[in-house]
Amino acid sequence: MEPKNLEGKITLNLDRPTTSEVDLSEVAIQLHPLDDVAIVKKTVLPGLIIKTEGRVVKARQLVQPGHKVAIKSVAQGEPVRRYGQIIGFASQPITEGDHVHSHNLEVQQFSRDYAFATEIPQVLFVPEEERRTFQGYLRPDGRVGTRNYLAIIGSVNCSASAIRAIEARFTPEVMQQFPNVDGVIGLTHKNGCGMRHGSDAIEQLQLTLAGFALHPNVGGYLLVGLGCETNQIREMIAGQGLDVYGHKMGIEPLFLTIQESGGIAKTVVAAEKMIMGILPKVNQAQRTAQPASKLVVALQCGGSDGWSGVTANPALGFAMDEVVRNGGTAVLSETPEIYGAEHLLTRRARNVEVGQKLVERIKWWEHYTSINGQDLDNNPSPGNKLGGLTTIFEKSLGAAAKGGNTPLNAVYKYAERITERGFVFMDTPGYDPVSATGQVAGGANLIVFTTGRGSVFGFKPSPCIKVATNNTMYENMSDDMDINAGKILGGVNPQEVGREIFEKVLAVASGEESKSEAQNIGEEEFNPWILGAML
Protein backbone atom coordinates (compact mmCIF):
# COMPACT_ATOMS: atom_id res chain seq x y z
CA MET A 1 0.00 0.00 0.00
CA GLU A 2 1.39 3.41 -0.98
CA PRO A 3 1.82 6.18 1.60
CA LYS A 4 -1.10 8.59 1.43
CA ASN A 5 -0.53 11.68 -0.72
CA LEU A 6 -1.09 14.80 1.35
CA GLU A 7 -3.37 16.66 -1.01
CA GLY A 8 -5.56 18.31 1.59
CA LYS A 9 -4.86 21.41 3.64
CA ILE A 10 -3.12 21.06 7.00
CA THR A 11 -3.37 23.88 9.51
CA LEU A 12 -0.55 24.40 12.00
CA ASN A 13 -1.25 26.48 15.09
CA LEU A 14 1.93 27.65 16.79
CA ASP A 15 0.26 28.98 19.95
CA ARG A 16 1.45 27.97 23.39
CA PRO A 17 1.05 24.25 24.28
CA THR A 18 -2.51 23.01 24.51
CA THR A 19 -3.68 21.63 27.85
CA SER A 20 -7.47 21.27 27.40
CA GLU A 21 -9.62 19.04 25.18
CA VAL A 22 -8.98 19.29 21.42
CA ASP A 23 -9.65 17.49 18.18
CA LEU A 24 -6.72 15.47 16.86
CA SER A 25 -6.44 17.69 13.77
CA GLU A 26 -5.68 20.72 15.98
CA VAL A 27 -2.53 19.25 17.48
CA ALA A 28 -1.37 16.38 15.25
CA ILE A 29 -1.59 14.77 11.81
CA GLN A 30 -2.65 11.18 11.20
CA LEU A 31 -1.21 10.43 7.76
CA HIS A 32 -3.11 7.21 7.01
CA PRO A 33 -6.21 5.49 8.46
CA LEU A 34 -4.12 2.44 9.42
CA ASP A 35 -1.59 4.47 11.40
CA ASP A 36 -1.01 3.81 15.08
CA VAL A 37 0.63 7.19 15.59
CA ALA A 38 0.04 10.83 14.72
CA ILE A 39 2.71 13.48 14.14
CA VAL A 40 2.48 16.28 16.68
CA LYS A 41 2.23 19.83 15.26
CA LYS A 42 2.49 21.73 18.54
CA THR A 43 3.75 20.78 21.98
CA VAL A 44 1.37 18.34 23.68
CA LEU A 45 1.39 18.36 27.48
CA PRO A 46 0.54 15.38 29.71
CA GLY A 47 -3.17 15.13 30.40
CA LEU A 48 -4.34 16.70 27.14
CA ILE A 49 -7.56 15.06 25.94
CA ILE A 50 -7.42 14.37 22.18
CA LYS A 51 -10.65 13.51 20.42
CA THR A 52 -10.30 11.16 17.45
CA GLU A 53 -12.73 8.88 15.59
CA GLY A 54 -15.49 9.23 18.18
CA ARG A 55 -13.26 8.42 21.14
CA VAL A 56 -10.72 10.24 23.30
CA VAL A 57 -7.00 9.70 23.84
CA LYS A 58 -5.29 11.15 26.91
CA ALA A 59 -1.69 12.27 26.40
CA ARG A 60 0.52 10.46 28.89
CA GLN A 61 3.80 12.34 28.34
CA LEU A 62 5.04 15.61 26.86
CA VAL A 63 5.42 15.28 23.08
CA GLN A 64 7.33 17.85 21.05
CA PRO A 65 6.49 18.94 17.47
CA GLY A 66 7.65 16.46 14.83
CA HIS A 67 7.45 13.56 17.29
CA LYS A 68 4.84 10.82 17.45
CA VAL A 69 1.96 10.29 19.84
CA ALA A 70 0.21 6.90 19.97
CA ILE A 71 -3.44 7.07 18.98
CA LYS A 72 -3.83 3.31 19.35
CA SER A 73 -2.40 0.86 21.85
CA VAL A 74 0.17 -1.60 20.51
CA ALA A 75 1.28 -4.78 22.27
CA GLN A 76 4.97 -5.50 22.77
CA GLY A 77 6.47 -7.07 19.65
CA GLU A 78 3.68 -5.87 17.37
CA PRO A 79 4.28 -3.55 14.39
CA VAL A 80 3.74 0.19 14.60
CA ARG A 81 2.53 1.97 11.46
CA ARG A 82 2.98 5.43 9.96
CA TYR A 83 2.14 6.22 6.30
CA GLY A 84 0.11 2.99 6.54
CA GLN A 85 3.47 1.14 6.60
CA ILE A 86 5.55 -0.55 9.28
CA ILE A 87 8.07 1.83 10.84
CA GLY A 88 9.16 -0.52 13.64
CA PHE A 89 7.99 -2.78 16.42
CA ALA A 90 6.96 -1.99 19.97
CA SER A 91 9.88 -2.83 22.27
CA GLN A 92 7.48 -2.55 25.22
CA PRO A 93 3.72 -2.18 25.49
CA ILE A 94 2.58 1.13 23.99
CA THR A 95 -0.58 2.69 25.39
CA GLU A 96 -2.59 5.23 23.45
CA GLY A 97 -1.39 8.70 24.45
CA ASP A 98 2.24 7.58 24.82
CA HIS A 99 5.16 9.38 23.21
CA VAL A 100 6.44 6.87 20.63
CA HIS A 101 10.18 7.07 20.06
CA SER A 102 13.47 5.25 20.65
CA HIS A 103 12.49 4.15 24.16
CA ASN A 104 9.56 2.02 22.95
CA LEU A 105 10.08 1.51 19.19
CA GLU A 106 12.75 -0.66 17.57
CA VAL A 107 13.77 -2.24 14.29
CA GLN A 108 13.10 -5.93 13.70
CA GLN A 109 13.41 -7.87 10.48
CA PHE A 110 10.18 -8.58 8.65
CA SER A 111 9.35 -9.89 5.21
CA ARG A 112 8.34 -7.46 2.47
CA ASP A 113 6.19 -8.35 -0.51
CA TYR A 114 8.16 -6.88 -3.42
CA ALA A 115 5.38 -7.58 -5.95
CA PHE A 116 7.71 -6.67 -8.80
CA ALA A 117 6.22 -4.45 -11.52
CA THR A 118 2.63 -4.99 -10.36
CA GLU A 119 1.69 -1.34 -9.79
CA ILE A 120 3.35 0.51 -12.67
CA PRO A 121 1.94 4.05 -12.76
CA GLN A 122 0.71 5.60 -15.97
CA VAL A 123 2.45 8.86 -16.89
CA LEU A 124 0.62 11.58 -18.77
CA PHE A 125 3.58 13.05 -20.64
CA VAL A 126 3.48 16.66 -21.78
CA PRO A 127 3.47 16.80 -25.62
CA GLU A 128 6.94 17.70 -26.90
CA GLU A 129 5.81 20.97 -28.42
CA GLU A 130 4.37 22.05 -25.04
CA ARG A 131 7.28 21.02 -22.81
CA ARG A 132 8.95 23.60 -20.64
CA THR A 133 12.40 24.88 -21.48
CA PHE A 134 15.42 26.34 -19.72
CA GLN A 135 18.54 28.19 -20.83
CA GLY A 136 21.40 25.69 -20.89
CA TYR A 137 24.68 24.78 -22.56
CA LEU A 138 24.20 22.18 -25.30
CA ARG A 139 27.23 19.85 -25.44
CA PRO A 140 28.40 17.84 -28.47
CA ASP A 141 27.11 14.56 -27.00
CA GLY A 142 23.57 15.97 -26.69
CA ARG A 143 23.64 16.45 -22.93
CA VAL A 144 23.00 19.93 -21.56
CA GLY A 145 24.87 21.80 -18.87
CA THR A 146 23.23 24.10 -16.34
CA ARG A 147 26.65 25.60 -15.56
CA ASN A 148 29.92 26.07 -17.47
CA TYR A 149 32.94 25.42 -15.26
CA LEU A 150 36.57 24.55 -15.83
CA ALA A 151 37.54 21.80 -13.38
CA ILE A 152 40.93 20.94 -11.92
CA ILE A 153 40.59 17.31 -10.86
CA GLY A 154 43.01 15.52 -8.55
CA SER A 155 43.98 11.91 -9.12
CA VAL A 156 45.24 11.60 -5.54
CA ASN A 157 45.19 13.54 -2.28
CA CYS A 158 48.91 14.25 -2.71
CA SER A 159 48.02 16.79 -5.43
CA ALA A 160 45.29 18.56 -3.41
CA SER A 161 47.46 21.41 -2.12
CA ALA A 162 48.87 22.07 -5.59
CA ILE A 163 45.32 22.19 -6.98
CA ARG A 164 44.26 24.76 -4.38
CA ALA A 165 47.29 26.89 -5.30
CA ILE A 166 46.42 26.63 -9.01
CA GLU A 167 42.79 27.53 -8.36
CA ALA A 168 43.84 30.59 -6.37
CA ARG A 169 45.49 32.05 -9.49
CA PHE A 170 42.08 32.45 -11.14
CA THR A 171 40.78 35.41 -9.20
CA PRO A 172 37.55 37.28 -10.01
CA GLU A 173 39.69 39.86 -11.79
CA VAL A 174 41.21 37.19 -14.05
CA MET A 175 37.85 35.56 -14.72
CA GLN A 176 36.33 38.84 -15.89
CA GLN A 177 37.92 38.03 -19.24
CA PHE A 178 35.69 34.96 -19.50
CA PRO A 179 32.11 36.02 -18.69
CA ASN A 180 30.58 32.74 -19.92
CA VAL A 181 32.69 30.63 -17.52
CA ASP A 182 31.16 30.14 -14.08
CA GLY A 183 34.56 29.63 -12.50
CA VAL A 184 37.66 27.47 -12.16
CA ILE A 185 36.95 24.86 -9.48
CA GLY A 186 39.33 22.47 -7.72
CA LEU A 187 37.94 19.00 -7.09
CA THR A 188 40.22 17.41 -4.51
CA HIS A 189 39.74 14.32 -2.36
CA LYS A 190 41.46 12.18 0.26
CA ASN A 191 42.21 9.06 -1.77
CA GLY A 192 43.90 7.78 -4.93
CA CYS A 193 46.52 5.59 -3.28
CA GLY A 194 46.74 2.94 -0.56
CA MET A 195 44.52 0.66 -2.67
CA ARG A 196 45.38 -2.40 -4.74
CA HIS A 197 46.34 -1.53 -8.29
CA GLY A 198 43.65 -2.74 -10.68
CA SER A 199 41.08 -3.22 -7.90
CA ASP A 200 37.36 -2.44 -7.96
CA ALA A 201 38.11 0.50 -5.66
CA ILE A 202 40.43 2.08 -8.25
CA GLU A 203 37.94 1.34 -11.03
CA GLN A 204 35.14 3.09 -9.13
CA LEU A 205 37.33 6.10 -8.31
CA GLN A 206 38.36 6.45 -11.94
CA LEU A 207 34.75 6.14 -13.09
CA THR A 208 33.81 8.92 -10.68
CA LEU A 209 36.62 11.27 -11.71
CA ALA A 210 35.95 10.64 -15.41
CA GLY A 211 32.27 11.44 -14.83
CA PHE A 212 33.26 14.89 -13.62
CA ALA A 213 35.83 15.47 -16.37
CA LEU A 214 33.20 14.89 -19.05
CA HIS A 215 30.23 16.27 -17.14
CA PRO A 216 27.87 18.54 -19.11
CA ASN A 217 28.45 21.31 -16.53
CA VAL A 218 32.21 21.17 -17.22
CA GLY A 219 33.48 22.85 -20.38
CA GLY A 220 37.11 21.85 -19.86
CA TYR A 221 39.33 20.18 -17.29
CA LEU A 222 42.89 19.53 -16.13
CA LEU A 223 43.91 16.38 -14.25
CA VAL A 224 46.65 16.87 -11.65
CA GLY A 225 48.50 14.02 -9.93
CA LEU A 226 51.65 13.43 -7.93
CA GLY A 227 53.04 10.81 -10.29
CA CYS A 228 53.68 7.67 -8.25
CA GLU A 229 50.13 7.06 -6.97
CA THR A 230 48.13 3.89 -7.49
CA ASN A 231 45.54 5.83 -9.46
CA GLN A 232 47.65 6.50 -12.53
CA ILE A 233 46.34 9.32 -14.71
CA ARG A 234 47.41 7.80 -18.04
CA GLU A 235 45.67 4.53 -17.15
CA MET A 236 42.52 6.43 -16.20
CA ILE A 237 42.52 8.36 -19.48
CA ALA A 238 42.75 5.14 -21.50
CA GLY A 239 40.54 2.98 -19.29
CA GLN A 240 37.70 5.51 -18.99
CA GLY A 241 37.85 6.64 -22.61
CA LEU A 242 38.76 10.22 -21.77
CA ASP A 243 40.86 10.36 -24.92
CA VAL A 244 38.36 8.85 -27.38
CA TYR A 245 35.15 10.24 -25.90
CA GLY A 246 36.80 13.52 -24.97
CA HIS A 247 37.91 14.01 -28.57
CA LYS A 248 34.30 13.59 -29.72
CA MET A 249 33.24 16.10 -27.08
CA GLY A 250 35.88 18.57 -28.15
CA ILE A 251 37.56 18.30 -24.73
CA GLU A 252 41.11 17.00 -24.79
CA PRO A 253 42.40 15.14 -21.68
CA LEU A 254 44.90 17.67 -20.31
CA PHE A 255 47.01 16.48 -17.39
CA LEU A 256 50.28 16.91 -15.54
CA THR A 257 52.02 15.44 -12.51
CA ILE A 258 53.96 17.24 -9.79
CA GLN A 259 56.94 14.89 -10.03
CA GLU A 260 57.32 15.31 -13.78
CA SER A 261 56.76 19.06 -13.55
CA GLY A 262 59.50 19.54 -10.94
CA GLY A 263 57.55 20.27 -7.76
CA ILE A 264 54.55 22.31 -6.66
CA ALA A 265 55.75 25.76 -7.73
CA LYS A 266 56.57 24.65 -11.26
CA THR A 267 53.33 22.66 -11.43
CA VAL A 268 51.28 25.73 -10.53
CA VAL A 269 53.00 27.80 -13.24
CA ALA A 270 52.54 25.07 -15.87
CA ALA A 271 48.92 24.49 -14.90
CA GLU A 272 48.09 28.18 -15.01
CA LYS A 273 49.50 28.38 -18.54
CA MET A 274 47.52 25.31 -19.67
CA ILE A 275 44.26 26.59 -18.19
CA MET A 276 44.69 30.06 -19.68
CA GLY A 277 45.12 28.31 -23.01
CA ILE A 278 41.75 26.51 -22.84
CA LEU A 279 39.60 29.11 -21.05
CA PRO A 280 38.91 31.06 -24.28
CA LYS A 281 37.40 27.91 -25.80
CA VAL A 282 35.32 27.18 -22.68
CA ASN A 283 34.15 30.78 -22.79
CA GLN A 284 32.70 30.27 -26.28
CA ALA A 285 29.78 28.29 -24.85
CA GLN A 286 26.46 30.12 -24.93
CA ARG A 287 23.17 29.45 -23.14
CA THR A 288 20.35 28.55 -25.50
CA ALA A 289 16.77 27.38 -25.01
CA GLN A 290 16.76 23.67 -24.19
CA PRO A 291 13.87 21.30 -23.41
CA ALA A 292 13.27 20.28 -19.81
CA SER A 293 13.84 16.71 -21.00
CA LYS A 294 17.57 17.52 -20.70
CA LEU A 295 17.29 17.97 -16.93
CA VAL A 296 18.85 15.27 -14.77
CA VAL A 297 17.95 16.13 -11.17
CA ALA A 298 19.68 14.48 -8.21
CA LEU A 299 17.46 14.08 -5.13
CA GLN A 300 19.03 14.40 -1.69
CA CYS A 301 17.85 14.76 1.90
CA GLY A 302 19.89 15.46 5.00
CA GLY A 303 19.33 16.72 8.50
CA SER A 304 15.85 15.22 8.22
CA ASP A 305 13.15 15.62 10.84
CA GLY A 306 9.66 14.31 11.55
CA TRP A 307 8.21 16.67 8.93
CA SER A 308 10.48 15.65 6.04
CA GLY A 309 8.13 12.90 4.91
CA VAL A 310 5.09 15.17 5.36
CA THR A 311 6.09 18.42 3.66
CA ALA A 312 9.34 18.78 1.69
CA ASN A 313 9.77 15.23 0.39
CA PRO A 314 6.22 14.80 -0.96
CA ALA A 315 6.40 18.31 -2.48
CA LEU A 316 9.69 17.42 -4.16
CA GLY A 317 8.03 14.23 -5.40
CA PHE A 318 5.34 16.32 -7.11
CA ALA A 319 8.07 18.48 -8.69
CA MET A 320 9.92 15.42 -9.97
CA ASP A 321 6.70 14.05 -11.47
CA GLU A 322 6.60 17.30 -13.47
CA VAL A 323 10.22 16.84 -14.54
CA VAL A 324 9.42 13.31 -15.71
CA ARG A 325 6.21 14.42 -17.46
CA ASN A 326 8.37 16.88 -19.39
CA GLY A 327 10.71 14.08 -20.44
CA GLY A 328 13.43 14.70 -17.84
CA THR A 329 15.15 12.49 -15.28
CA ALA A 330 14.92 12.32 -11.47
CA VAL A 331 17.64 10.38 -9.62
CA LEU A 332 16.80 8.96 -6.18
CA SER A 333 19.75 7.54 -4.23
CA GLU A 334 21.00 6.80 -0.69
CA THR A 335 20.29 3.05 -0.63
CA PRO A 336 20.55 2.71 3.18
CA GLU A 337 17.83 5.35 3.40
CA ILE A 338 15.24 3.50 1.34
CA TYR A 339 15.73 0.36 3.45
CA GLY A 340 12.27 -0.65 4.62
CA ALA A 341 10.61 1.26 1.78
CA GLU A 342 12.10 -0.60 -1.17
CA HIS A 343 8.93 -2.66 -1.60
CA LEU A 344 7.12 0.53 -2.62
CA LEU A 345 9.67 1.11 -5.38
CA THR A 346 9.79 -2.48 -6.67
CA ARG A 347 6.03 -2.36 -7.27
CA ARG A 348 6.51 0.62 -9.60
CA ALA A 349 9.51 -0.89 -11.42
CA ARG A 350 8.90 -0.88 -15.16
CA ASN A 351 9.77 -4.60 -15.27
CA VAL A 352 10.79 -7.42 -12.97
CA GLU A 353 14.48 -7.08 -13.84
CA VAL A 354 14.64 -3.45 -12.66
CA GLY A 355 12.90 -4.35 -9.39
CA GLN A 356 15.21 -7.29 -8.77
CA LYS A 357 18.25 -5.13 -9.41
CA LEU A 358 17.13 -2.79 -6.62
CA VAL A 359 16.65 -5.69 -4.20
CA GLU A 360 20.12 -6.99 -5.13
CA ARG A 361 21.59 -3.67 -4.00
CA ILE A 362 19.65 -3.90 -0.71
CA LYS A 363 21.06 -7.39 -0.13
CA TRP A 364 24.56 -6.11 -0.93
CA TRP A 365 24.18 -3.43 1.73
CA GLU A 366 22.97 -5.94 4.31
CA HIS A 367 26.13 -7.97 3.65
CA TYR A 368 28.39 -4.92 3.48
CA THR A 369 27.23 -3.54 6.83
CA SER A 370 27.38 -6.95 8.54
CA ILE A 371 31.02 -7.65 7.57
CA ASN A 372 31.96 -4.19 8.84
CA GLY A 373 30.32 -4.66 12.22
CA GLN A 374 27.43 -2.30 11.49
CA ASP A 375 23.73 -2.53 10.73
CA LEU A 376 21.46 -0.51 8.52
CA ASP A 377 19.56 0.86 11.51
CA ASN A 378 22.68 2.85 12.44
CA ASN A 379 20.61 5.54 10.70
CA PRO A 380 18.74 7.82 11.73
CA SER A 381 21.42 10.10 13.14
CA PRO A 382 21.17 11.74 16.58
CA GLY A 383 19.93 14.93 14.92
CA ASN A 384 17.27 13.02 12.99
CA LYS A 385 16.06 11.45 16.22
CA LEU A 386 15.96 14.79 17.99
CA GLY A 387 13.72 15.97 15.16
CA GLY A 388 11.29 13.08 15.69
CA LEU A 389 12.52 10.25 13.44
CA THR A 390 13.02 6.96 15.27
CA THR A 391 13.93 4.08 12.93
CA ILE A 392 15.48 3.64 9.50
CA PHE A 393 12.14 2.28 8.26
CA GLU A 394 10.39 5.50 9.25
CA LYS A 395 13.12 7.65 7.71
CA SER A 396 13.15 5.59 4.51
CA LEU A 397 9.40 5.76 3.97
CA GLY A 398 9.59 9.54 4.14
CA ALA A 399 12.74 9.76 2.03
CA ALA A 400 11.30 7.63 -0.78
CA ALA A 401 8.57 10.24 -1.28
CA LYS A 402 11.17 12.44 -3.02
CA GLY A 403 10.87 10.13 -6.03
CA GLY A 404 7.26 11.02 -6.75
CA ASN A 405 4.83 8.58 -8.35
CA THR A 406 6.15 7.59 -11.78
CA PRO A 407 7.61 4.22 -12.87
CA LEU A 408 11.09 3.21 -11.72
CA ASN A 409 12.88 2.92 -15.06
CA ALA A 410 16.42 1.92 -14.11
CA VAL A 411 18.81 1.11 -11.25
CA TYR A 412 22.44 2.24 -11.55
CA LYS A 413 25.59 1.44 -9.66
CA TYR A 414 27.58 4.26 -8.08
CA ALA A 415 28.78 6.93 -10.56
CA GLU A 416 27.51 4.91 -13.54
CA ARG A 417 26.49 7.06 -16.54
CA ILE A 418 22.74 7.77 -16.42
CA THR A 419 21.20 7.08 -19.81
CA GLU A 420 17.53 6.32 -19.07
CA ARG A 421 15.00 9.10 -18.68
CA GLY A 422 12.25 9.24 -16.12
CA PHE A 423 12.54 8.20 -12.48
CA VAL A 424 15.72 6.19 -11.79
CA PHE A 425 17.70 5.00 -8.79
CA MET A 426 21.45 5.10 -8.15
CA ASP A 427 23.07 2.93 -5.48
CA THR A 428 24.97 5.21 -3.09
CA PRO A 429 25.67 5.52 0.63
CA GLY A 430 23.39 7.75 2.67
CA TYR A 431 26.19 10.21 3.49
CA ASP A 432 25.21 13.27 1.46
CA PRO A 433 28.59 14.35 0.00
CA VAL A 434 29.46 10.81 -1.12
CA SER A 435 25.96 10.21 -2.48
CA ALA A 436 25.77 13.47 -4.43
CA THR A 437 29.26 12.89 -5.84
CA GLY A 438 28.05 9.63 -7.39
CA GLN A 439 24.88 11.20 -8.78
CA VAL A 440 26.75 14.10 -10.38
CA ALA A 441 29.42 11.75 -11.75
CA GLY A 442 26.53 9.91 -13.42
CA GLY A 443 25.43 13.12 -15.13
CA ALA A 444 23.05 14.94 -12.76
CA ASN A 445 23.16 18.60 -13.79
CA LEU A 446 21.21 19.93 -10.79
CA ILE A 447 20.48 18.85 -7.18
CA VAL A 448 17.44 19.41 -4.95
CA PHE A 449 18.13 18.82 -1.26
CA THR A 450 15.40 18.63 1.41
CA THR A 451 16.25 19.31 5.05
CA GLY A 452 14.41 19.67 8.34
CA ARG A 453 17.14 20.20 10.89
CA GLY A 454 19.06 22.43 8.48
CA SER A 455 21.84 21.85 5.95
CA VAL A 456 24.31 24.18 4.27
CA PHE A 457 25.03 21.75 1.44
CA GLY A 458 26.19 23.00 -1.95
CA PHE A 459 27.82 21.12 -4.79
CA LYS A 460 29.95 22.29 -7.70
CA PRO A 461 29.67 21.91 -10.63
CA SER A 462 25.92 21.15 -10.20
CA PRO A 463 23.86 23.83 -8.42
CA CYS A 464 21.97 22.75 -5.30
CA ILE A 465 18.48 23.95 -4.34
CA LYS A 466 17.58 23.44 -0.67
CA VAL A 467 14.03 22.92 0.57
CA ALA A 468 13.10 23.46 4.22
CA THR A 469 10.54 21.18 5.87
CA ASN A 470 9.29 23.59 8.56
CA ASN A 471 8.82 27.32 9.10
CA THR A 472 11.03 27.63 12.17
CA MET A 473 14.15 26.26 10.48
CA TYR A 474 13.43 28.16 7.26
CA GLU A 475 13.24 31.46 9.12
CA ASN A 476 16.32 30.66 11.20
CA MET A 477 18.39 29.68 8.14
CA SER A 478 16.81 31.88 5.48
CA ASP A 479 20.21 32.65 3.90
CA ASP A 480 20.63 28.95 3.09
CA MET A 481 17.10 27.81 2.19
CA ASP A 482 15.70 28.32 -1.33
CA ILE A 483 12.16 26.99 -0.76
CA ASN A 484 9.98 26.78 2.36
CA ALA A 485 7.84 23.63 2.31
CA GLY A 486 6.91 24.31 5.93
CA LYS A 487 4.02 26.44 4.68
CA ILE A 488 2.26 23.17 3.85
CA LEU A 489 1.64 22.93 7.59
CA GLY A 490 -0.07 26.31 7.38
CA GLY A 491 -2.60 25.17 4.79
CA VAL A 492 -0.74 25.37 1.46
CA ASN A 493 -1.31 22.36 -0.79
CA PRO A 494 1.84 20.20 -1.27
CA GLN A 495 1.26 20.29 -5.02
CA GLU A 496 1.54 24.08 -4.94
CA VAL A 497 4.93 23.85 -3.25
CA GLY A 498 5.86 21.14 -5.75
CA ARG A 499 5.11 23.53 -8.59
CA GLU A 500 7.21 26.18 -6.84
CA ILE A 501 10.13 23.73 -6.66
CA PHE A 502 9.71 22.85 -10.34
CA GLU A 503 9.80 26.52 -11.34
CA LYS A 504 12.88 27.05 -9.17
CA VAL A 505 14.57 24.09 -10.88
CA LEU A 506 14.00 25.70 -14.28
CA ALA A 507 15.21 29.09 -13.05
CA VAL A 508 18.38 27.76 -11.42
CA ALA A 509 19.06 25.53 -14.44
CA SER A 510 18.89 28.71 -16.51
CA GLY A 511 21.56 30.44 -14.43
CA GLU A 512 19.81 31.87 -11.36
CA GLU A 513 22.06 31.44 -8.31
CA SER A 514 20.93 29.06 -5.59
CA LYS A 515 21.49 30.14 -1.99
CA SER A 516 24.55 27.90 -1.69
CA GLU A 517 26.04 29.31 -4.89
CA ALA A 518 25.50 32.86 -3.66
CA GLN A 519 27.76 31.96 -0.72
CA ASN A 520 30.32 30.20 -2.94
CA ILE A 521 29.71 26.82 -1.32
CA GLY A 522 30.21 23.50 -3.06
CA GLU A 523 33.81 22.39 -3.64
CA GLU A 524 34.55 20.68 -0.31
CA GLU A 525 31.48 18.45 -0.73
CA PHE A 526 33.17 16.52 -3.57
CA ASN A 527 33.77 13.13 -1.92
CA PRO A 528 34.13 9.93 -4.02
CA TRP A 529 33.03 6.68 -2.39
CA ILE A 530 36.04 4.47 -1.70
CA LEU A 531 35.44 0.73 -1.46
CA GLY A 532 37.48 -1.85 0.43
CA ALA A 533 40.46 -1.68 2.72
CA MET A 534 42.89 1.22 2.89
CA LEU A 535 46.37 -0.30 2.70
| 454, part of any domain | yes
What's the whole-model pTM score?
0.93
DSSP letter string over 189-251? Answer: -S-SSSS-TT-HHHHHHHHHHHHHHT-TTEEEEEEEE-SSSSS-HHHHHHHTTTTHHHHHHT-
Which pLDDT score, from 0 to 100, does residue 4 have?
41
Domain boundary among 106, 140, 169: 106
Instruction: Check: CB of residue 502 under 8 Å from CB of residue 487.
Output: no
| 114, part of any domain | no
Looking at the fold, whether 268 and 376 belong to one and the same domain comes out as no
Looking at the fold, whether 322 and 275 belong to one and the same domain comes out as no
Name 28's bridge partners.
Answer: 40
Looking at the fold, whether 358 and 427 belong to one and the same domain comes out as yes
SS3 407: coil
Domain boundary among 266, 284, 302: 284
Work out how many domains the chain is built from and give that number.
Answer: 3
Query: How big is the chain by its Cα radius of gyration, in Å?
Result: 24
Domain boundary among 106, 141, 167: 106
Looking at the fold, whether 329 and 427 belong to one and the same domain comes out as yes
Angstrom distance (rounded) from CA 456 to CA 450 = 11
| 329, part of any domain | yes
**How, if at all, do strands 37-40 and 28-29 pair?**
antiparallel
Can you list the alpha helix ranges (DSSP code H) found in 283-349? 312-325, 342-347
Residues of the domain holding 37: 21-106
Looking at the fold, whether 41 and 98 belong to one and the same domain comes out as yes
| 533, part of any domain | no
Which pLDDT score, from 0 to 100, does residue 527 have?
98
Tally of helices (H runs) and strands (E runs) in the chain: 17, 24
Name 449's bridge partners.
Answer: 300, 466
Looking at the fold, whether 321 and 260 belong to one and the same domain comes out as no
| 305, part of any domain | yes
Instruction: Please report, for the domain that includes residue 244, its CATH number.
Output: 3.40.50
Angstrom distance (rounded) from CA 223 to CA 465 = 28
Looking at the fold, whether 249 and 298 belong to one and the same domain comes out as no
| 136, part of any domain | no
10-residue block means of pLDDT along the chain (535 residues)? 40 49 92 96 93 92 96 97 96 97 94 95 96 97 97 98 98 97 98 93 97 97 97 96 82 93 98 97 97 98 93 98 98 96 97 98 93 79 91 94 97 98 97 98 98 96 98 96 96 96 98 98 96 81
| 495, part of any domain | yes
Looking at the fold, whether 212 and 300 belong to one and the same domain comes out as no
Looking at the fold, whether 442 and 428 belong to one and the same domain comes out as yes
Instruction: Please report, for the domain that includes residue 78, its CATH number.
Output: 2.30.130.110
Looking at the fold, whether 59 and 163 belong to one and the same domain comes out as no
In this structure, which amino acid lies at residue 170?
A: F
Task: Report CA-CA distances (Å) from 283 to 96, 145, 211, 275, 521.
Answer: 64, 13, 21, 12, 22
Rounded to the nearest 5 percent, the helix, strand and coil shares of the chain are: 35, 20, 45
Environment class of 47 (CB within 10 Å of its CB; exposed 0-12, middle 13-18, buried 19+):
exposed
Which pLDDT score, from 0 to 100, does residue 250 have?
77
Looking at the fold, whether 34 and 58 belong to one and the same domain comes out as yes
Angstrom distance (rounded) from CA 184 to CA 522 = 12
Looking at the fold, whether 436 and 393 belong to one and the same domain comes out as yes
| 387, part of any domain | yes
